[in-house]
Amino acid sequence: MTSEGQARSRSGIIATIIIVIVALGAGMLTARLLFKPRTDFSELSATVFQQPRAIQPFALLDHHGDAFTADSLSGQWTFVFFGYTHCPDVCPTTLSVLNSVATRLADAPDATRFVFVTVDPERDTPEVLNRYVSYFNGEFVGVTGEPAAIGELTRQLGIMYMRVEDQGDPASYLVDHTASILLFNPEGHFQALFSPPLDADTIASEFLAIAGAFR
Tally of residues, the chain: 215
Distance in angstroms (rounded) separating the CA atoms of residues 77 and 198: 18
pLDDT tier, 102 (very low <50, low <70, confident <90, very high otherwise): very high
Q: Taking 60 as the threshold, does the pLDDT of residue 30 lie above it?
A: no
List, for residues 128-185, the tens digit of each pLDDT value: 999 999 999 999 999 999 999 999 999 999 999 999 998 778 778 999 999 999 999 9
Q: Which one-letter amino acid corresponds to residue 103?
A: T
List, for residues 61-86, the tens digit of each pLDDT value: 999 999 999 999 999 999 999 999 99
Secondary structure of residue 119 in the 3-state scheme: coil
Strand partners of residue 72: none
Secondary structure of residue 44 in the 3-state scheme: coil
Q: What predicted TM-score, i.e. pTM, was given to this entire model?
A: 0.81
Largest CA distance in the chain: 108
